[in-house]
């Protein structure tokens, strides 16, 4: 890879991962992911974050291409998740005099993960590390975005912020590094999916971080995943602000499970009737085949969720239950909710979905539709009425 100099003395030395199938062994990566690392070069040199250890050889090659025989004086650790920290041990062997900089929680994790106890430098809120006459680094704590040790590093001379996982996105950097070289539209939905899956539970800490960082003059955002943001910073900050406030755009996600197609027909009827009322932004997902991360992304984006499930062994259909569990885990505080279900001899699905809405304090719209056995004309009007109630409640 040809090294990109983002600003004089600030170099991108990260890597692309096109081989990992699931991020955190959970979330599909159809477009891959990047692990971003940056060199800040002055009289002294600081490396900001490392990469997943399988790609450490590439990282070290990029560093040597940039520095030649110069040493790394400091490693700044903004975030300890292993996709950003697991190359630390090998890097320390290459640069044994390198000092590792982090806050107290970071340094405890470095010892816990990698057994490193020496050459550590603790920093606190607002501390500054001067690298020379032209570059300095200032540290700001942004805990729980999305781990407790997370911090952001700011270079005031270039107005560059290194925010760890904040403002990141899935997707490799295909030839470019900055958003002048990569189209924002390619990454927007992957940023939403990344936020919903990885950061989604931590809306309050994200809001606190946005308030803390707001006074900084930020001309460049260098996250640990995805493009370096310069032109698109207002759109990136706005997206994070809206998602961390759980603000939903008008739109309806219909997510269902169906064993033999009857509940699926209910979903189709509700979707079609909803469209006939003039509603737009309707997305229908069969949870047996849909990517859950995509469903989560759209639930974060849109204000209405309609869930359908057959009764299965006296419980919800397993994939429906898994979706509701993931949603509850993300503590989304407000959404409009409706549900529909089916059963053969003893119904439980509608009751359990209604209980979910009560626990999450979501607004229940309309009367749930509960169907016994096969889908037919007796169910048509109830599905149509639920769609009408959803449309009229806006």
Residue ranges per structural domain of the chain? 4-244, 249-392
- Res 1: pLDDT: 60
**Across 216-233, average pLDDT:** 97
Task: Determine which of 120-134, 139-153, 360-374 has the lowest per-residue pLDDT on average.
Answer: 360-374
User: Which CATH architecture best describes the domain 249-392?
Assistant: 3-Layer(aba) Sandwich (3.40)
Pairs from 173-176 (Cβ < 8 Å, separation ≥ 24): 173/14, 173/16, 173/34, 173/226, 173/227, 174/16, 176/227
Q: What is the 8-class DSSP label of residue 74?
A: E
Average pLDDT over the chain reads 95
- Res 374: pLDDT: 80
User: 263-300 pLDDT, tens per residue?
Assistant: 999 999 999 999 999 999 999 999 999 999 999 999 99
Q: What is the 3-state secondary structure (H, E, C) of 254-320?
A: EEECCCCCHHHHHHHHHHHHHHHCCCCCEEEEECCCCCHHHHHHHHHHEEEEEEEEEEECCEECHHH
**Across 36-59, average pLDDT:** 97
**Across 38-46, average pLDDT:** 98
Out of 3.40.50.150, 3.30.70.270, 3.30.70.360, 3.60.15.10, which CATH number does the structure's domain 4-244 have?
3.60.15.10
- Res 394: pLDDT: 83
Helix axes 233-244, 203-213, angle to 10 degrees: 140
- Res 346: pLDDT: 72
User: 332-354 pLDDT, tens per residue?
Assistant: 998 999 999 987 877 789 999 99
Q: How confident is the model at residue 46 (pLDDT cuts 50, 70, 90)?
A: very high
**Across 185-193, average pLDDT:** 96
**Across 153-174, average pLDDT:** 97
Give the whole-angstrom CA distance, residue 346 versus residue 375: 16
Task: Determine which of 156-160, 258-262, 319-323 has the lowest per-residue pLDDT on average.
Answer: 258-262
In this predicted structure, the answer to whether residue 377 has a pLDDT above a threshold of 90 is: no
Q: Which two tokens stand for residue 211?
A: 């308030």
Model's pTM, two decimal places? Answer: 0.93
Helix axes 184-194, 233-244, angle to 10 degrees: 20
């Amino acid at each position: 890879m040809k090294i990109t100099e983002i600003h004089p003395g600030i170099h991108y030395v990260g890597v692309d991962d096109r081989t990992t199938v699931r991020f955190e062994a959970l979330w599909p990566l159809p477009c891959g992911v990047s692990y971003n690392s940056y060199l800040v070069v002055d009289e002294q040199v600081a490396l900001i974050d490392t990469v997943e250890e399988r790609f450490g050889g590439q990282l070290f090659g990029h560093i040597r291409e940039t520095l030649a025989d110069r040493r790394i004086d400091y490693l700044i650790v903004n975030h300890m998740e292993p996709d950003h920290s697991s190359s630390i041990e090998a890097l320390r062997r290459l640069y044994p005099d390198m000092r590792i900089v982090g806050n107290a929680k970071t340094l405890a994790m470095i010892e816990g993960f990698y057994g490193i106890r020496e050459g550590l430098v603790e920093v606190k809120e607002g501390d500054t590390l001067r690298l020379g006459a032209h570059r300095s680094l200032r540290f700001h704590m942004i805990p729980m975005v999305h781990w407790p040790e997370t911090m952001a590093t700011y270079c005031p001379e270039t107005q560059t912020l290194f925010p760890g996982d904040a403002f990141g996105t899935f997707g490799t950097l295909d030839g470019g590094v900055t958003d002048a070289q990569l189209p924002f539209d390619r990454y927007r939905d992957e940023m939403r999916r990344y936020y919903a899956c990885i950061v989604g539970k931590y809306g309050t800490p994200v809001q606190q971080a946005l308030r803390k960082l707001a006074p900084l003059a930020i001309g460049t955002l260098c996250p640990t995943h995805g493009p370096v943001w310069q032109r698109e910073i207002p759109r990136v900050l706005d997206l994070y602000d809206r998602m961390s406030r759980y603000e939903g755009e008008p739109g309806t996600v219909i997510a269902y499970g169906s064993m033999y197609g009857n509940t699926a027909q209910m979903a189709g009827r509700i979707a079609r009737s909803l469209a006939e009322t003039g509603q737009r932004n309707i997305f229908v997902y069969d949870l047996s085949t849909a990517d859950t991360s995509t469903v989560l992304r759209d639930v974060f984006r849109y204000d209405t969720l309609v869930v359908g499930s057959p009764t299965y062994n006296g419980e919800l259909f397993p994939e429906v239950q898994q979706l509701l569990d993931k949603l509850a885990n993300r503590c989304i505080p407000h959404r409009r909710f409706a549900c529909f279900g089916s059963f053969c001899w003893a119904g439980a699905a509608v009751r359990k979905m209604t209980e979910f809405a009560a626990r999450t304090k979501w607004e229940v719209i309309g009367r749930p539709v509960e169907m016994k056995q096969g889908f037919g004309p007796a169910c048509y009007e109830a599905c149509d009425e639920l769609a009408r109630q959803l449309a009229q409640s806006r």
